Each structure stands twice: as structure tokens, then as C-alpha cells.
Amino acid sequence: MQIQDLPFPDPGVPDARSGPRFLWWLFRNQLGGQLKSLAWGLLHFASVSALPFCVGLAVQAVVDRSGTRLALAGGLLALCCAGNALGDTFLHRAAVTNWITAAARVQQLLARKAALLGSALTRRVAAGEVVAVSTGDVEKIGWFVEALSRFTAAALTIVLVCVSLVVYEPALGVVVAVGLPVLALAVLPLLPRATRRADVQREKAGRATELASDTVAGLRVLRGIGGEELFLDRYRSASQEVRHAAVRSARMWSLISAIQVLLPGLLLIAVVWYGVRLAHDGRIGVGELVTVYSSVMILTYPLRHFEEIAMAYSFSRPSAKRAARVLSLERATDTTGSRAGAVPSGDLYDPATGLLAPAGRLTAVVCGDPDAAGRLAERLGGHASEKGTSALLGGVALDELPLDSARTAVLVQDKDPVLLSGTLRELLDVPASGAVGAEDALAAAQCGDVLAALVQGSLGAEDPMDARITERGRSLSGGQRQRLALARSLITDPQVLVLDEPTSAVDSHTEARIAEGVRKLRTGRTTVVFTSSPLLLDRADRIVFLHDGEVAAVGAHRELLHSEPRYRAVVTRETDEETAAHRDEARDRTLDDDALGDDDVLHRLEEIEETA
């Protein structure tokens, strides 16, 4: 896989059982690139390590006054330099390719998981953690995956050089062969502590990222309630904790680096001291001493890769653990679907609550618990409940449908729909049946003033469809964002449309027009609206009132106002005392006036309810 071939046609199914397993899965899935990196790394390190032999051969040729051997040494030196340049160039290319392709694979996996889970993702994992995984953690994971092949090449080179030195000059070669493993393993006792400190730093940095993400997302609300400084102080405190943790981690890694410099220096001193004694006794030549000394000095370069792989693993392990946690999340329903064929049609039914939304009608759902309403909306969209129950469409469980089919049949717009940056035309360019045009959808959602505001706020845009929308529509009011999101949902024209509080930020006059517009545009289509607004409820074909997770009453708005006190309390925002007082007043007035007919009694009850 080359960089120009990205993205992957299929990033694969990751092994997300743990962080190390996920790292190993990534390594195996780009084995070809790793073998290229290993081959070029061996050429590079071997060429660098062969330079001392060439230099020693040249020095000995000068001592022996041999022109032939000197020319041979020069040729070998030129060959090693060419191999070094070639190997270093293509090693860098292969390493960068491995890094980018590994990071791209992780990003594709995260994007696919986000699309699969939908709104359930941020309810199961903090939004800041998702941001941390998809940004900084991706780079660290890619770093370890690509560094593994370079470390392997460096380790093999060190083994080859040690064997060669033992064969070339056994007396000094044995000293080097014994000393180099000590150098490589000397820092192992320090690695657990360094790893723990790196984990603490990454954990604190992740929490700071989550806090920053949540603060930015709610900045407008924080400013409205005067809580901006409070959250900024919390972020300052969190960032200082990250700084202290980073300093403690850097101290440990600096100690490891110092040891990596000190011990090779001591080995060089030992080799020179012992080699000078051997040369003085005539047991080795000057060229051999230069060769061994130069080899030890050169080997400090591949030895540095032992420190790098330890750092890369220490930093990537918590990152891989977080990525594996996100990738291990599963949709509570069958993602591939056990039923193929046409998308079913008919009534929408939720077995967990007993909610029934008849096909082709506008059903309003009133629920006093907003969280319960959100979970019900998710189930109607194809996500199974904690007990494993799923909504039925035409008698077919949505979790038995392929994910694409379930989303084609049912579209759920949650309370806080996201508007991506771009033009209005791009925002409304969504998969749709084609039966509803952009103009009709915008009109039904009462977006006339929104279009005017977009044109006024965009320089050089005469057509509202070409007007720019900032990220998340931050330049628009809450009501304007809601109406644009509603228009986008109406354009798709799904078989079943589920709207969760679609007009909570809209004034009453606009809300009444939206209710009428949605009713007309969705004629013949199944629509479910979660709301407690009397304006929407009065225009619904059927109202379902939920209490304690079950259907408590079904009927028309005015009928339920008269017959269901709990419904009236939710819709009119009555307190329990007010509800009891109105009920007692209605009973007393009815009992005290036996001469009144049924119509008069009903009239008085209506007066009481309107007063409430």
C-alpha cells in the first residue's frame, strides 16, 4: 500500500481485545511495507557498520605500504557510502509510508465505528476521548508501528557486527560482544517507571482534552450563565497537571538517554585500554585496533533505536488502549442483518413501551423524562435497548435488517443535530428519495428568515443556496439551526421520520407554522414527533403519553387534557398541587350543580383546563 492509494478500500476488522493486540494487528496488516522497511534498514545500518572495517583496512594498508590493499579499501569505502545513502533514503520513504498508512487505517476504523454507532458513540465514550484518539493518539500509534521494523533492522545489525568482530579479532571482539548486550539491556529496569509516568501524562492530557472539548462545545451556554471563568480555571488547573506530569516523564527519559550515552563511553574506554595493551604486546595490529574502536563508536547509532522503541511503545500503548476501547464498542443490533430484500413497511411498534405509530400518520409522543425519550428515539431508529428489544417496522425487527436498510427506512433527528461547515447547497445534499425538493423542505421548516440571514452574512453570495454555513452553524441562532436541520431531514423523505423536540428553540408563531408545514409535507408518510408543545400536539393525528416507561394513554390532545391529569401536568407544566386543586374544583362544581346537563358540565371542565 502506497500513500497515493489511500484511503483503504477496506481497513479490515481490528483485533480490539487490548492495546498490544491492536498494535500487533496493525503491524501484520502492513507486513509488505514492514519488510521493505526492514530490508532498507539492514542495508543502511550494515553500510554504516561496515565503514570501520574499511577504515581499519586502509590504515593497515598504509602501515604495510600496500597500494593494492589501500585501493581496495577505498573502493569498499565508496561502496559502503553508496549503500548508506541508498539505504537511508529508501528507509525514510518506507518508514514514513508505514507511519502514514497505519495512522490512516486507524482513522478509517474510527470513522467507520462512529458511523456505525451514530449518536450512541458519545453516550458511551466521552467526546473529548474520541477527539484525543482520532488526533494525537493516531500519530503515536503510527510511530510505534513504523519504528518496529527499524528497531528490528538495528538489532540484527548489532548481532551481525558482534559476530563479525569475534571472527575478525577474537580478543577484542569478545569484549564488545559481552558489553553491547549489557548496554542494550541496562535501561530495562528504568522502563516500567518511565512507562508509568508516560501513562500518567497521557491520561492527564486526555482528561484535559475532554475538558477543553466540552468547554468549547458549551461555551455559549457558559457565557450565558456566567460560568466561563469557572471552566477556564478548571482547564488551567488541568493543563498545569499535564505540564507537571510531562516534566516528571521527561526527567526519566533524560536519565535513560544519559545512560545510553554514558555506558557506550565506558565501553569505548575499556576497548581502547585493552586494545592498546594488545597492540603494545604485538598481539593485534594498529588497523585492527582502529577497526574495533570505530565499530564500537558506530554501533552507538543503532543502539539509539533501543531507546526509541521503548519510548514509542510507552507512548503508543495507552493510545492503542484508548483506540481499542472505542473500536471494541458494538452496535446493540445486528449490523449485517439477518433479513435481506426489500425494506419492510407498515406500523412502527416499540415492544419495550408499547408505543404504536400507525403507518402514514403523524404521531406525537409525550414523555416527562427527556432521557427516556432519547433512548426511545434511538430504539425507533434501530438501536436495541439494554434488554435486547428492538422496534418493529411492519412486524419486522429493525435489528434484523442490514444497517443501511434500517437507516433508509427510519431517520432519527436528535435534539442537537449537527450542521457541518459548507454551503447550504452542500448541507442539503443528502441521500433522498427525490420526492421532496429543497424549496419545499425549507418552506415547511419556515426557513425564510434563515435564508435572508445567510445571504446577509455571506460576502458575494446572492443565491441563499451558495451562502456559507460556519462549523456547527455557530453564526446562527439555536432556532435557525433547528429549522435548517429539520429541512435537511424533510428532504431525505424517509419512510419513517422520528423528530426529537424539533422546535424547542423556536417561537410559538413560527412553531405553529412549522407544525402545519410538516403535517402537509409528510402526508401519507409515518412521522413520530417527541414533544410537549401544545401547538405540535394539537396538529397530531394521534398522541401517545408515556409514563414510567410505558404507554399510559392514547388519544387526541384535547381529549387527553380532560381525561389524563399526568398528561396535562407535562404539557401545561402544572405542579402536583395545581393539578389536585383543579381536579377538586372541577368535581365540586360538577356535584354542586345537579341541574346542569352534560354539555354544560363539559363546558365548565374546558374552562378550567384553559385556565390551567
CB atoms within 10 A of CB 219: 15
The separation between the first and the last C-alpha atoms of the chain, rounded to the nearest angstrom, is 69
Give the pLDDT confidence of 321-336 residue by residue, as tens digits: 889 988 888 765 544 5
HSE-up (13 A, CA, CB side) for residue 584:
6
Residues paired with 422 in a beta bridge = 469
Greater confidence (385 vs 210) lies with: 210
359 has a pLDDT exceeding 70 = yes
pLDDT of residue 599: 54
Greater confidence (590 vs 503) lies with: 503
Q: How many Å is the Cα radius of gyration of the chain? A: 36
DSSP state of 417: -
Average pLDDT on 501-510 reads: 89
Q: Please state the φ and ψ torsions of residue 555, each to the nearest 5 degrees.
A: 165, -160
597 has a pLDDT exceeding 70 = no
Give the pLDDT confidence of 92-147 residue by residue, as tens digits: 999 999 999 999 999 999 888 887 776 667 667 766 667 677 777 888 899 999 99
pLDDT of residue 521: 94
Average pLDDT on 16-45 reads: 92
3-state secondary structure of 413: strand
In order of their start, the domains of the chain are 12-327 (1.20.1560.10), 337-413+494-573 (3.40.50.300), 418-492 (3.40.50.300)
Greater confidence (590 vs 102) lies with: 102
75 and 122 Cβ atoms separated by less than 8 Å:
no
Q: Environment class of residue 282 by beta-carbon count within 10 Å: exposed (0-12), middle (13-18) or buried (19+)? A: exposed
Whole-angstrom distance, CA of residue 174 vs CA of residue 165: 8
3-state secondary structure of 499: strand
CB atoms within 10 A of CB 472: 15
487 has a pLDDT exceeding 90 = yes
Whole-angstrom distance, CA of residue 506 vs CA of residue 581: 32
pLDDT of residue 186: 80
C-alpha grid cell, residue 360: 402514514
Answer positive or negative: Cα dihedral of 139, 142, 146, 148. Answer: positive
CB atoms within 10 A of CB 59: 20
440 Cβ contact partners less than 8 Å away, ≥ 6 residues apart? 490, 521
pLDDT of residue 596: 47
**Among 499, 493, 498, 343, CA closest to 406:** 343
Give the pLDDT confidence of 291-319 residue by residue, as tens digits: 888 888 888 788 888 878 888 888 888 88
Average pLDDT on 514-532 reads: 93
pLDDT of residue 590: 46
Strands 355-357 and 348-350: antiparallel
Average pLDDT on 420-441 reads: 89
For residue 518, what pLDDT band results from cuts at 50, 70 and 90?
very high
DSSP state of 343: P
pLDDT of residue 593: 47
Greater confidence (612 vs 466) lies with: 466
What percent of the chain has a predicted confidence (pLDDT) above 90?
Answer: 30
Residues paired with 500 in a beta bridge = 530
CB atoms within 10 A of CB 562: 16
CB atoms within 10 A of CB 305: 22
Whole-angstrom distance, CA of residue 420 vs CA of residue 320: 29
Give the pLDDT confidence of 161-202 residue by residue, as tens digits: 888 888 888 888 888 888 888 877 787 788 788 878 877 887
**Residues 332, 335, 339, 345: what is their CA dihedral angle, to the nearest 10 degrees?**
70
C-alpha grid cell, residue 70: 589501500
Strands 550-555 and 542-547: antiparallel
591 has a pLDDT exceeding 60 = no
66 has a pLDDT exceeding 80 = yes
The beta-strand segments (E) located in 431-523 are 468-469, 496-500
> At CB < 8 A and 24+ separation, what contacts does 558-562 make?
561/609, 562/605, 562/606, 562/609
Give the pLDDT confidence of 566-578 residue by residue, as tens digits: 998 888 876 555 5
pLDDT of residue 37: 94
352 and 549 Cβ atoms separated by less than 8 Å:
yes
601 has a pLDDT exceeding 50 = no
The residue assigned the cell 425519550 is: 373
Strands 392-393 and 348-350: antiparallel
152 has a pLDDT exceeding 50 = yes
Chain mean pLDDT for the chain:
83
Amino acid in position 85: A
pLDDT of residue 180: 80
Average pLDDT on 275-288 reads: 81
Give the pLDDT confidence of 236-254 residue by residue, as tens digits: 888 899 899 989 988 988 8
Whole-angstrom distance, CA of residue 570 vs CA of residue 566: 6
Residues paired with 397 in a beta bridge = 392
Give the pLDDT confidence of 40-55 residue by residue, as tens digits: 999 999 998 888 888 8
Q: Please state the φ and ψ torsions of residue 366, each to the nearest 5 degrees.
A: -110, 125
pLDDT of residue 602: 46
The residue assigned the cell 534498514 is: 41
CB atoms within 10 A of CB 397: 21
Helix ranges, 218-227 (H): 219-225
**Among 474, 379, 369, 373, CA closest to 421:** 474
**Cα of 334 vs its chain's centroid, Å:** 22
370 has a pLDDT exceeding 70 = yes
Average pLDDT on 514-536 reads: 93
The beta-strand segments (E) located in 268-361 are 348-350, 355-357
What distances in angstroms separate CA 107 from CA 70, 241, 510, one per listed residue?
55, 28, 42
604 and 590 Cβ atoms separated by less than 8 Å:
yes
CB atoms within 10 A of CB 440: 17
